[in-house]
Amino acid sequence: MTIRLTRRRALPLVGGALAAPLLPSISAAQTGLPEGTLKIIVGFPAGGGTDVMARLIAEPLKQRTGRNIIIDNKAGASGTIGAEAVKNSPPDGSTIIYIPSATIVQKLTMLSVPFDPLTDFAPLTLAGTVQTAFCVSPTIGVNTLAEYVAWVKKNPARASFGTTALGSFTHFFGVMTGTEIGVPLEPVPYRGAAPLVADLQGGHIAAGCGGITDFLEHHRAGKVKVLFTSGLKPTQAAPEIPTGTSLGHPKLNILGWYIFLAAAKTPPAIVQTWNKELGAVLQLPEVVKRLVELGLDVETSTPEQVRERMTKDLALWKTIIDGIGYKPQ
């Protein structure tokens, strides 16, 4: 998918040789951001959904601030390597991270996570929310949740679902769905969305769970059938797909999100500046349009609201995890 962004024309230099040496200090004064190159760390490989969104945000951020902003991919361990890098970076605001809740929740599901999301970072802003999708193979001939419930009760040997990651929302949401419909569903782990989609298309597994962005293109192509998603209201990317809540299952409501974080003890003034600059970019109509197309329901916040959301959601997720009997690995 090609991402095209409109570039602003560079402001012409005036004043000849006298003006040029002043540009860096003028830029710093205008932005309030640290001197030198600024890094946005992404804990996933280049070309993935998180990386594409981060680059989409970084380009107009460069134009707005006049600063050199680079994306630094520190992939591995479902984003925890990148998070640890930010935790250990100088607390001067020169390095921040674009991070999904799927990485944050690992604090509850993995014993070896090397950070505490509530104490090791300075929140900057929310970027938006994402929903989990429950989909089925087109080979089983069902188009609604009610039809799937009837089908799986007739085919109890196939009461399983593929998950793109054990110990994640895609795992928990599938288990929660089984509880809600009265048919326990067994998770089957996959190494990402691509092999799961292939098995769904071929009928090797009946159902699957993953981020809506993993399945939306395949749903529209008829390779899988998304039955419902996990929000209170339909995702902006696909308003025609119902939610579990709208189908009479209010417990099937579990939202993920993306946020920006800096290292703990980053000065409040720099935190507020990042909040202002990121918030302005996330309100640009062309940026909102592209992020929605990628499955992100764009929403910004104050740093304090990010911390409140993390605190509240970690408590909620722990209740869900404890309720399904999942033990940290």
Q: In this predicted structure, what is the pLDDT of residue 14?
A: 31
Global pTM value: 0.82
Tens digits of residue pLDDT in 69-122: 999 999 988 899 999 999 999 999 999 999 999 899 999 999 899 999 999 999
Whether pLDDT at 20 is above 50:
no
Residue 290 included in any domain: yes
Q: In this predicted structure, what is the pLDDT of residue 31?
A: 58
CATH number reported for the structural domain that contains residue 168 in this entry:
3.40.190.10
Backbone angles phi, psi at 211, to 5 degrees: -60, 145
The whole domain housing 47 covers 34-130+255-324
Do residue 207 and residue 184 come from a single domain? yes
Whether pLDDT at 276 is above 70:
yes
Q: Residue range 273-278: average pLDDT?
A: 98
Percent of the chain whose pLDDT exceeds 90: 74
Tens digits of residue pLDDT in 143-184: 999 999 999 999 999 999 999 888 888 899 999 999 999 999
Backbone angles phi, psi at 183, to 5 degrees: -135, 100
Q: Please state the domain count of the chain.
A: 2
Confidence of residue 325 (pLDDT cuts 50, 70, 90): confident
CATH number reported for the structural domain that contains residue 58 in this entry:
3.40.190.150
- Tokens coding 148: 């799937």
Do residue 123 and residue 171 come from a single domain? no
Confidence of residue 1 (pLDDT cuts 50, 70, 90): very low
Residue 88 included in any domain: yes
294 by Cβ neighbours in 10 Å (0-12 / 13-18 / 19+) ranks as buried
The Cα 108–Cα 104 span in angstroms is 8
Q: In this predicted structure, what is the pLDDT of residue 192?
A: 79
Q: In this predicted structure, what is the pLDDT of residue 155?
A: 97
190 by Cβ neighbours in 10 Å (0-12 / 13-18 / 19+) ranks as buried
Residue 55 included in any domain: yes
Q: Which residue has the tokens 């996570």?
A: 113
Do residue 115 and residue 152 come from a single domain? no
Chain length of the chain: 329
Which has the closest alpha carbon to 55: 39, 66, 33? 39
